[in-house]
A and B are shown apart, each in its own frame.
Chain A
Amino acid sequence: MTIALEELLKLSAEEIWARNERPTAQQLRDKQQTFYEDIDEGMELPKYIYRPTPTHLFRWSAAIENFHRIHYDLDFGLNHDKNPSILVHGSWKQSVVPQYLKDWTLPKGWPWKAQFEHRAMLVPGDVLIMWGRVTGKQEKGGMGLIDLEIGMKTHDGIESMPGSATVVLPLKGGPDIPYPFVPPKD
């Protein structure tokens, strides 16, 4: 059972880091299906905790060939763009979202869609909490659609990425979710 976001935010950064629920490879391999019927409004998803360092930022810049200096050139960030430090990439946060939704819907669900805003500058030293909460559910076309509120908060409670998502979970005894995914018809 995941700790409630509200309770997590009462903890220190170190204590939050200790509550990290990012799954291991083995946990992802063994993941059992969550079904539509298992979900209630208000349920919270596991909390993925990240503690990005300059090296993590550099690795991400290199992996996606993003050469924007604000992410790796501290002198440029401080003195040219007047940022508080080098900045965590919006593109990295954007890539965590489908991972988070994939993991929750595995092995047979589908991380259909998400939208989110970028609001706060995140810097090395921040402890980041990827979180999600069920806001609604409906059955459509033999699929279980789950609406989520999602975000990425800093350890001191600043929401850096408010957003929402819709994922698909199978119904107990229902058909497989089509792959490639075909949205249910209205």
Chain B
Amino acid sequence: MTQQTQTALTPEVKAMIGVTGDVVEAWGVVDAEYLRRFTQAVMDPDPRYWDQEFAKTTPYGEIITPPIMVSYMASRIRPDQEDPITKAFEEDPMSDGIGRVSRPGSLPRVPTNLIRVLNAGNELEIYKYPSIGDKVFSQHKYSDIRERVGRDGSPFLIVTTETTYKNQKDELLCITRASSIRR
């Protein structure tokens, strides 16, 4: 007699596919100082990021910024909200610094008892380099949730969140898809 494994892909979980968050405007604008810190941290010395005269001679005609830099701008903690870092540690002194820290535009949690989260992979589609002065608007969507079975026979979920980034002119900057494993 074989033991029936309970599915993790319940109707409640399936119902999350297609759930879309609000369009969120990132705090601040794309600016030269954030660009400097970001490109130094990723170790990209490209003069297209900092030499205005040279940038004018490129096909872009201006200083450009790394395409997915805006994805980190979009998740900035706003100064006009309660500090979620302090809150997270008040609720749990052993907070990992990320799990209970809510970010602007976060989607509702997938209703599952599988709480361990692992980064499974990413997809990037790049259409335009953000310009200095751009405002950034992002929107998350659960684009896919699939079930897989681990080596031990336990089901787990692969949850894919698609995020679209646009600027104030409604120009598409990039699309990212982040897949996470819920075990």
Contacts and interface: CB of A to CB of B under 8 A. Distances in A.
Nearest to A112: B126
Contacts of B123: 113-115
B101 A99 contact: no
B137 to A, nearest CB: 16
B44 to A, nearest CB: 5
B66 interface: yes
Contacts of A62: 37, 41
A92 B128 CA distance: 20
A26 to B, nearest CB: 8
A22 B39 CA distance: 14
B18 interface: no
B42 A96 contact: yes
Interface in A45-67: 50, 56, 59-60, 62-67
A101 to B, nearest CB: 8
A103 B39 CA distance: 14
B124 A107 contact: no
Contacts of A64: 38, 41, 72
Interface string B107-146: 0000000000001111111111000000000000000000
Contacts of B67: 98, 111
B121 A66 contact: no
A179 B42 contact: no
B42 A108 contact: no
A36 to B, nearest CB: 17
Interface string A98-130: 110011000110111111111000000000000
Given A64-B38, A114-B124, A80 B43 contact: no
A76 B96 contact: yes
B37 A63 contact: yes
Interface residues of A, number: 51
Contacts, number: 118
A40 interface: no
B41 A59 contact: yes
Contacts of B48: 28
Size category of the binding interface on chain B:
35 or more
B123 to A, nearest CB: 4
A118 B45 contact: no
B59 interface: yes
Contacts of A118: 119-122
A96 B41 CA distance: 10
B124 A97 contact: yes
B126 A29 contact: no
A50 B41 CA distance: 12
B60 A25 contact: no
Contacts of B38: 63-64
Contact of B46 (A25, A59, A76, A116): A25
Interface string A77-103: 000110000000011101111110011
Contacts of A80: 94, 96
Report, nearest first, the 6 A-B pairs whose CB atoms are least far apart: A63-B41, A180-B128, A117-B121, A64-B72, A67-B97, A68-B98
Interface of B: 37-38, 40-48, 51, 54, 58-60, 66-69, 72, 75-77, 85, 94, 96-98, 101, 119-128, 171-172, 177
19 contacts: A23-B45, A24-B45, A25-B46, A56-B43, A59-B41, A64-B41, A66-B98, A68-B97, A95-B69, A98-B126, A113-B124, A114-B124, A116-B121, A118-B120, A118-B122, A179-B128, A180-B127, A180-B172, A181-B128
